[in-house]
Amino acid sequence: MNDNLPNDELDPKKSGGPSRNRIVLWIVGAAVGVYLLGSGIWGIITGG
């Protein structure tokens, strides 16, 4: 078994969906992606 994973990831009985840390990571990643996309579009519009 892989010892690098947290214990809640290794428990096959627990199927309560994604953990809180994973949800926060997805939100932060999506926010960075939206920022990069928005700044790119803004740069194209303003010509800068």
Total domains in the fold of the chain: 1
Residue 30 lies in a domain: yes
Query: Is the CB of residue 1 less than 8 Å from the CB of residue 10?
Result: yes
Residue 25 lies in a domain: yes
**Residue 29: pLDDT over 90:** yes
Query: Is the CB of residue 1 less than 8 Å from the CB of residue 12?
Result: no
Give dist(CA 1, CA 11) in Å, integer.
11
Residue 43 lies in a domain: yes
3-state secondary structure of 47: coil
Number of residues that this document lists for the chain = 48
Domain span holding position 30: 20-48
Compute the average pLDDT of residues 27-47: 97
pLDDT at 31: 98
Q: Considering only residues 28 and 9, tell me which one the structure prediction assigns the higher pLDDT.
A: 28
Residue 1 lies in a domain: no
Q: Tell me: the pLDDT tens digits for 12-26?
A: 666 678 899 999 999
pTM for this entry: 0.61
Within a 13 Å sphere around the CA of 37, how many CA atoms are in the beta-carbon half?
A: 6
